[in-house]
Amino acid sequence: MNKYGYRFSFGPWNIHEGADPFGPPVRPSVPFARKLETLKDLGFDAMQFHDDDAVPDLDNKTPAQIAAEAQAMRRLLADHGLVAEFVAPRLWEHPLTIDGAFTANDPKARAYAIERAKKCADIGREMGTNLMVLWLAREGTYLREAKDAVTATHRLLEAVNALLAYDSELRIAIEPKPNEPMDIAYIPTIGHALTIAFRADDPARVGTLVESAHAILAGLDPADEMAFALAFDKLWSVHLNDQNGLKFDQDRSFGSIDLRRAFNQVRVLDENRYWEKGVVGLDVKAIRTQPADLATKHLRNSLATFLRLVEVVRGLDRARIEELRAARDYEELDWLILSALMG
């Protein structure tokens, strides 16, 4: 933890080999143990997990094997003074879920998805976290007529309810994304995620995770998405990163494309005492051309940018801002913010 009280996390996938849809890996895989050392060395507090990051090949393991491996992972983290922030079910790689998991037309696929997510809840419990992040990767279609969107929406709600009923301590944070891998996503924004949360059987246990790039891809500002969730005490995690316009999900270093947009995310988090509510997760990837031995600087830069922006936010002249708001002198307010950012 740093002097501002924020805790930071990233996932094993954030130190990656650089493969993209048009090219192979460009860096060797980094062993998990080294990723953990890097996490610690860079001043992070927690690791984010997919279920199979913690327990590889879990579909082919017994409940006892899964529990033992999850406990071993918890001990490994504890040996480094670290914890797991959340565990997310990876519902998008199995052949059964090619056309969706909870919203697949095929009942076998839906049953698999629920069972897999229950195993993920078990893994989280063994690893000492009750937070499950649901990134709904394939809950959508490539062709609007291929699924019934109303039925699919009900199926999503039923899946959330089944998980809440399965584990009475589980908390679910829905991470919306408007596209990729599916073209048409059923939960594209925080408003959609919050509707599911408030209609769930136990609304107090369903919240959200805002990822900056996903909001930008939806044509929205991440700070506004965060503010909307914060207004209802439903922002339980964030995936900070940056995004160069409406392209593929780039996961660029936080603040590296639009510093003011990053500033406003930090401002809304800091003004709402986010450090007391959740971990600052980063979901950033190194640029593909970055040499292997230099491919953790995106994590260093993103964390440092966040903390520098906290300083900028806390250094703002609040009284002056109120005066300028009252006078509707937004040009002067604009200049005050730009001056703060330019130093």
Asked if 87 touches ligand XUL (CB under 6 A), the answer is no
User: Is position 175 an interface residue for ligand XUL (rule: CB under 6 A)?
Assistant: yes
Among 15, 120, 283, 295, binds ligand XUL (CB under 6 A): 283
Report how far apart, in Å, the C-alpha atoms of 92 and of each of 48, 104, 112 are: 18, 11, 11
- Which of 35, 177, 192, 252 binds ligand XUL (CB under 6 A)? It is 177
Could you give the CA distance from residue 195 to residue 127 in angstroms, rounded to a whole number? 29
Residue 326 CB contacts under 8 Å (≥ 6 apart), including other chains: none
Angle at the Cα of 218 from the Cα atoms of 248 and 285, rounded to 5 degrees: 40
CB closer to Mn ion out of 211 and 258? 211
Contact (Cβ atoms closer than 8 angstroms) between residue 126 and residue 120: no
Beta strand pairing call for 279-282 and 8-10: parallel
Tell me: does residue 8 bind ligand XUL (CB under 6 A): no
Closest distance of CB 13 from ligand XUL, Å: 6
**Toward ligand XUL, which CB reaches closer, 229 or 324?**
229
Q: Which does 74 bind (CB under 5 to 8 A by kind): ligand XUL, Mn ion, none?
A: none
The total number of residues shown for the chain amounts to 343
Binding mask 202-221 for ligand XUL (x = CB under 6 A): ---------x----------
- Residue ranges binding Mn ion (CB under 5 A): 211, 239, 283
- Alpha carbons 186 and 278: distance in angstroms, whole number: 26
Report the nearest approach of ligand XUL to the CB of residue 238 (Å).
Answer: 10
Among candidate residues 50, 192, 214, 298, the one labeled active-site is 50
**Which of helix, strand or coil describes residue 233?**
coil
Give me the half-sphere count of Cα atoms (radius 13 Å) on the Cβ side of residue 85: 27
- Residues of this chain that interact with ligand XUL (CB under 6 A) are 50, 88, 133, 135, 175, 177, 211, 239, 249, 283
